[in-house]
Amino acid sequence: MKKLTIGLFITVLAGCASSDDVEQEKNVDDWFAIGEARAKNGFLLQTESRLVDRYPEEKITTEFYNGYVKGHEAGTKVYCSQNPYILGLSEEPYFGLCDQIDSNYSDEYQKGKKHKKE
């Protein structure tokens, strides 16, 4: 019984050690989540080459980039649904993400930001 317990313990330790060495490659869902999170924080869409520069350790395929773009589109809808005036009042930075969706978004953001300073 003692040998069985020790054998199981060694097997579990060996399994844990080997799983730490293997780094998981990101998949399409991971890139969707990255794009969505960036857009929800107001960041503009990055080009594929910019993503390659930003994540040099990752292999970014066209499929992965397309996942990132779809995620960014989803996050943009969420981000741009907030009131730009309130966003300006909160003094959160605005990078122009919503200007193509609503041409007045930046103006309303600036009004809120200006009102906060007064």
Residue 88 vs residue 24, higher pLDDT: 88
Q: Which domain holds residue 54?
A: 27-81
Max CA pair span of the chain: 77
Q: Domains in the chain: how many in total? A: 2
53 token code pair = 């520069």
Per residue in 41-51, pLDDT tens?
999 999 999 99
How high is the pLDDT of residue 16? 52
Q: Residue 12 domain-assigned?
A: no
CA pair distance 22, 27, nearest whole angstrom: 15
- Is the confidence at residue 7, as pLDDT, over 70? no
Is pLDDT above 60 for 98?
yes
Residue with token string 């960041």 = 43
Q: How many helices (H) and strands (E) does the chain have?
A: 6, 0
- Average confidence score pLDDT of the chain: 85
The Cα-based distances of 22 to 9, 18, 55 in angstroms read 21, 7, 18
Q: For residue range 54-96, what is the model confidence (pLDDT) as tens digits?
A: 989 999 999 999 999 999 999 999 999 999 999 999 988 999 9
Give the global pTM: 0.75
Q: Which of 74, 73, 93 is nearest to 84 (CA)?
A: 93
Do the domain assignments include residue 3?
no
Q: What is the DSSP string of 49-66?
A: HHHHHH-TTS---HHHHH
Residue 61 counted as domain residue: yes
One domain, residues 70 and 32:
yes
